[in-house]
Structures are given as C-alpha cells and as structure tokens.
Chains A and B, each alone.
Chain A
Amino acid sequence: SQTIHQWPATLVQPVGSPLSLECTVEGTSNPNLYWYRQAAGRGLQLLFYSVGIGQISSEVPQNLSASRPQDRQFILSSKKLLLSDSGFYLCAWSVQGAGELFFGEGSRLTVL
C-alpha cells in the first residue's frame, strides 16, 4: 500500500532563518506531488505541485520554493523565513490523472 511521510512534524524557527521540509511517498511511482498550507483560520492553499522530477509549478508568489530531486521526494524550502510563513504545511500525492489527494501528517511551522 502507499504511504506518505513528511518531517519534521513541528518546527519553531526565528525570522530570517532557513527552512527545509521533506516529504517522501512509498508504494507508488511517478506520483503527482503537492505542497499545501493551512494558515490559522483559513482553508488549504496550494503552494506548489509537481508532475515529475525537476518539474515544479508555483501557484502563488511567495517566500518559499520547492524541489523534486527524486521521483518520490518533495522538498519545501526557504532561504529566509518571514513571520507570515507560519502555518500548517501539508504534503500530498495523487495518481497521475486522478483527483483524490492523499495527505501526509503535516508539519506545524511557527516563525518567531
């Protein structure tokens, strides 16, 4: 069966520090991969998605970037965190051509 893992689960970082959140999927190949963010009191916002290695599409302009160095690995990064980057970050995957997303456990980021 397929599983998705992301880490770390919780992160407290000072403003201006770098960020790296990692996500890996097991049990499937060539998945679509996604990074979503849930800000406090708001719905889930799509940040990035990828349909293959090295292929990244950004949905909103922001202080973050994403990379897909391997088929089942997706990384969310920032060089300098802002207070507004605080939130709950979710990695997700889907089968190519299907609509259901399967989410990881999430990473709670607090920028102080």
Chain B
Amino acid sequence: DQQVKQNSPSLSVQEGRISILNCDYTNSMFDYFLWYKKYPAEGPTFLISISSIKDKNEDGRFTVFLNKSAKHLSLHIVPSQPGDSAVYFCAASVSGTSYGKLTFGQGTILTVHP
C-alpha cells in the first residue's frame, strides 16, 4: 500500500521557468511533510518541510504548499536552474514517537534545460 505517491516519474523544465512537483498521500495521520533532493550515488539532502498547521512554507527559491483536504502537497522551484536537476522525493511522517520514521514517495526526476 503506497501511502505517499508521486505520480509523475519525470519532469522537464526550461531554465528560469517554474518547476512544480506534486505529491499525494492517503494516511490522514501524517502531519509533517518534507521534500528531499537526491543526486545519483549520493544520499538525499533535506530541502524544505511543512507542518500540517500551515499551508505554505518558503525558503528562497523553494516553496511547499499543503492542501490537507485534498491530501496533496507540491514543491515549487522558481526560477529553476540546471543545478536543480535531480530526483525529488516527498516524505511524510506522524509527529511524536514516529517523527523520524518517514514514508517516502517514489521520486520525480527533474531535468532543467539551459
């Protein structure tokens, strides 16, 4: 049972434009959401997170939006840069004792063309 889904395996964007990566979840207990970026043969690096008490969180070029009623979150990257090309994973957890036990989506490969 895939509790966190990233339905787009890949996304191609022109440099300078907006990249929008989407993620859906089914477990209504999830209340903390994260995005990670991963280059080949490296471990994922943390990008940005959002708690369920918020619907938006910004950090520089990265903004995460959370729609709790739709059980949907998205990551916006503006403007996109070639160095953003990587695999992006969304992840979710239940705060409290399960805080660090993240459930990951399958990942979306983002390619930003110069």
Q: Is B83 interfacial (CB-CB < 8 Å)?
A: no
State the CA gap A42–B91 with chains docked (Å). Answer: 13
The reply to whether A105 and B49 form a contact with Cβ atoms under 8 Å apart is: no
Q: Which of B42, B43, B99 contacts A94 (CB 8 A)?
A: B99
The reply to whether B49 and A100 form a contact with Cβ atoms under 8 Å apart is: yes
List chain A residues, Cβ under 8 A from B102.
Answer: 44, 46, 99, 101
The reply to whether A34 and B44 form a contact with Cβ atoms under 8 Å apart is: no
Q: Is A97 interfacial (CB-CB < 8 Å)?
A: yes
The reply to whether A44 and B104 form a contact with Cβ atoms under 8 Å apart is: yes
State the CA gap A77–B31 with chains docked (Å). Answer: 32
B107 → A minimal CB distance (Å):
6
Given A94-B99, A106-B41, A108-B41: A101 and B46 interface contact (C-beta under 8 Å)? yes
List chain B residues, Cβ under 8 A from A108.
Answer: 41
List chain A residues, Cβ under 8 A from B105.
Answer: 43
The reply to whether A32 and B41 form a contact with Cβ atoms under 8 Å apart is: no
Q: Is A66 interfacial (CB-CB < 8 Å)?
A: no
Closest to A4 in B: B43
List chain B residues, Cβ under 8 A from A59.
Answer: 101
A19 → B minimal CB distance (Å):
19
The reply to whether A43 and B106 form a contact with Cβ atoms under 8 Å apart is: yes
A43, A98, A99: most-surrounded residue (chain B CB, <10 A): A99
State the CA gap A101–B79 with chains docked (Å). Answer: 26
Q: For chain A, residues 87 to 112, give those with C-beta under 8 angstroms from any C-beta of chain B.
A: 90, 92, 94, 97-106, 108
Q: Is B89 interfacial (CB-CB < 8 Å)?
A: yes
Q: Is A74 interfacial (CB-CB < 8 Å)?
A: no
Q: Which 6 A-B pairs have the closest CB atoms?
A: A103-B43, A94-B100, A44-B104, A43-B106, A43-B104, A99-B32
